[in-house]
A and B are shown apart, each in its own frame.
Chain A
Amino acid sequence: MITLESLRAYGANVDEGLARVMNKEDFYLRMVNMVLGDASKFDQLKAAVEAGDAKAAFEVAHALKGATGNVSLTPIYRPICEFSDTLKGHTDQPIPPQCLPLVDEAVKQFEIARNL
């Protein structure tokens, strides 16, 4: 079960996330579970990257960036943020190969967090 301690140990910026919801712990944990409970966005991201669809990949990453950032799941947020920023304004071009590890890292961190 996810707790504040396990999230802290995982590397989430729990204090920032809590402050954003006026320090309501149960609500914060509910939000975190909501983000982690929905794997569909990561599936979409992986599919878009595999298909080389930069536009779709950017849109999904953008959404994930907002959601993971708001609950301060930093280990996921960081690579997603970098990926999304790299693609921004260049979605008419192929996805740069050097970005792909960022996606892998985000997916990996997502799985870790889901198993906390």
Chain B
Amino acid sequence: MNTDALIRSSRRTVLVVEDEATNRELLGYILGESYDVLTAVDGVEALEVLAGHPGQIAMILLDILMPRMNGIEFLKRRQQDDTLSRIPVIVLTSDKDAELETLKLGALDFITKPYDMPEIILARVRRIIEFVEDRQIIQDVERDELTGLYTRGFFFEYCRRLPAPPRGERRDVIAVDVDHFRLVNEVYGKGFGDRLLCAVADGIHDVVHAGFGIGCRGDVDLFYVLLNQRRDYEAVYDALMRRVHQLGQSNVRLRMGVYQGVENTRPLEWYCVAAKAACDTIRANYTRGVVLYDDKLHERELYNERLIADMESAIAQRQFTVYYQPKYDIRGETPKLYAAEALVRWIHPELGFISPGAFIPLFEENGLIAKLDDYVWRQAAGQIRDWRDRLGVTVPVSVNLSRMDFYDPRLKERLLDIVKENGIPIESFVLEVTESAYSQNMDQMLKTVGELRQAGFHIEMDDFGSGYSSLNMLCLMPIDALKIDMKFVRNVASSSTGYRMVELVIEMARALGVPAIVEGVEDEAQYRLMKQVGCDIIQGYYFSRPVDAASFEPLIAGK
């Protein structure tokens, strides 16, 4: 039985309000075939029965002339009550004149006395119940409860049924997204988050009412609008932002993506995704609020889709190669090879060399990164073992852990398995965790990293300076080295502030009792400066760019 049939077939309860015992009995008898029947002798008792069966009564059959509270008075009471007014009423009457008045008071139908044949009464009751329930279901799924905008499903359905725009006119789709909504909710509370969504919805209402348009809440903090083409999207954006600023938090920001010229050639969903993709390109760009979807964006999307589609086969065909960049200890007279960082490279058979900057953020977004990380970890661990076996040297190699990896409850076991399978010392398999990963889910990260460290892994905090660690948090972090973001280093030669920053970070590492590693050191001048400020370990082109395993071996020999 499908859901519809199930709902239709379940027994409803109807309330018969009638002072005449014979009529009550008779109706109860007729309706009892298909319904559970409750009775009341007048309006007062009817209200009591309704109060005692909240949400259970599907229909009221109401006599008009009754003692204490008559049908008219009851209908007036019902109208003033939101819950009661949802229950449909059929009036039982032998009085034609009463019909108009009861209609005005919200009655939906009449059953005249003497009663019609039972089949007719049952059919009327059934039809009214179905009509009212269907209407309620439609209302429930049509509108988003919080914002009053159309729901996603209804939006697409309505748009599909829209006639094409008149010749010469075009329609656009805009996607509006609240930047960092999850964070906004966390910082200002869910109540504020809800008010914010309502403010955006109100703004969208204004836009839609100003000209032809339909808007919906497409996802938690995502809105879509289909509207007649216009040129002033910056003004639309500003109007929405004014609504947001009225809530009193000036640092909440919206992003808006626009697809211009919707055609019939693709489903509307596609254009919405495109508008959303456009608005996602300014996720971290606080200077722009509106982006128009264009061909370049489209090309990049296609390129990204290609990378995602090719990823699995690339692993199978070993298109990913692990490169190693040495880290040198510069504390002594002469720099000594200290360790290496494993970095992945993708040599695509058709697209050629693909920068990790192009595919890693992409894979991080859709979760594919876990698979790639696993691949890199295994390669790196195998390499440590290989060098140990052939060269008799254990070179510690650090691998990167993505934020996504921490969602895997088996992370520690997976890493321990790799170490065990390759028979390498656990401290030679170093884990790099970016600082920004810590700041996103601090408690969980501190716990997991703490467990990894307890298991014997060495942890390096990568990209220090990229996140927003507080000093308090830094003290709590279980780490074995601080790696400084290369951006600081780039500023060193040119600015005294940059220089001072590096000094500060190195002091911080000292305070934590861990070495400071600076990566991205490119030339002699930078190297000297780093040595001068007391940096412990250096990684960068000054010593070597990342190289394949075979090319790395001479560096080990020179150790």
Contacts and interface: CB of A to CB of B under 8 A. Distances in A.
A21 B22 contact: no
A66 B114 contact: yes
Contacts of A90: none
Interface stretch (B24-32, B131-139, B241-249): B24-32
Contact of B23 (A38, A59, A67): A67
Interface in B25-44: 25-26, 29-30, 33
A69 B29 contact: no
Contact of B94 (A31, A38, A69, A71): A69
A108 interface: no
Interface in A1-45: 19-22, 24, 27, 31, 34-35, 38
Interface string A59-70: 100110111011
B97 A22 contact: no
Contacts of A20: 26, 30, 114-115, 117-118
Interface in B109-129: 113-115, 117-118
B30 A88 contact: no
Nearest to A20: B115
B172 interface: no
A89 B97 contact: yes
Contact of A67 (B20, B30, B97): B20
Nearest to B96: A88
A24 to B, nearest CB: 8
A63 B42 CA distance: 13
Given A34-B21, A66-B94, A72 B114 contact: yes
B21 A69 contact: no
B19 interface: yes
A54 to B, nearest CB: 15
A31 B114 contact: no
B200 to A, nearest CB: 57
A59 B65 CA distance: 7
B95 interface: yes
B368 to A, nearest CB: 67
B20 A63 contact: yes
Contact-residue bracket for chain A: 20 to 34
Contacts of A22: 30, 33, 118
Contact of B65 (A31, A63, A70, A77): A63
B48 to A, nearest CB: 22
Interface in B15-73: 19-23, 25-26, 29-30, 33, 65
A59 B23 CA distance: 15
B114 A69 contact: yes
A59 B362 CA distance: 80
Contacts of B117: 19-20
A81 B167 CA distance: 66
Could you say which of A35, A66, A71, A88 has the most chain B C-beta atoms within 10 Å of its C-beta?
A: A66
Could you say which of A19, A34, A67 has the most chain B C-beta atoms within 10 Å of its C-beta?
A: A67
Interface in B68-103: 94-95, 97
A65 B113 CA distance: 8
B30 A71 contact: no
Contacts of A35: 22
Interface in B299-347: none
Contacts of B114: 20, 66, 69-70, 72, 77
Contact of B22 (A19, A59, A62, A70): A70
A29 B33 CA distance: 19
B72 to A, nearest CB: 14
A65 B29 contact: no
B115 to A, nearest CB: 6
A69 B117 CA distance: 13
A67 B22 contact: yes
A42 B41 CA distance: 20
A34 B94 contact: no
A97 to B, nearest CB: 24
Contacts of A66: 20, 22-23, 94, 113-114
Nearest to B121: A20
A115 to B, nearest CB: 20
B22 A71 contact: yes
Contacts of B19: 63
B432 to A, nearest CB: 81
Given A19-B117, A20-B114, A70 B97 contact: no
A24 B32 CA distance: 13
A44 B248 CA distance: 71
Interface string A82-95: 00000011000000
A21 B118 contact: yes
A10 B277 CA distance: 84
B454 to A, nearest CB: 78
B118 A31 contact: no
Nearest to B116: A20
Contacts of A34: 21-22, 25
A65 B94 contact: yes
Given A20-B117, A22-B30, A70 B23 contact: yes
A19 B117 CA distance: 7
B73 to A, nearest CB: 15
B26 A31 contact: yes
B65 to A, nearest CB: 6
A116 B19 CA distance: 27
Given A34-B25, A70-B115, 18 more contacts: A19-B118, A20-B30, A21-B26, A21-B29, A22-B118, A31-B22, A31-B25, A59-B65, A63-B19, A65-B94, A66-B113, A67-B20, A67-B22, A69-B94, A70-B23, A70-B113, A71-B26, A88-B95
Interface of B: 19-23, 25-26, 29-30, 33, 65, 94-95, 97, 113-115, 117-118
24 contacts: A20-B26, A20-B115, A20-B118, A21-B26, A21-B30, A22-B30, A24-B29, A31-B22, A31-B25, A31-B26, A34-B22, A34-B25, A38-B21, A59-B65, A62-B65, A63-B19, A63-B20, A63-B65, A66-B20, A67-B20, A67-B22, A69-B94, A70-B23, A70-B113
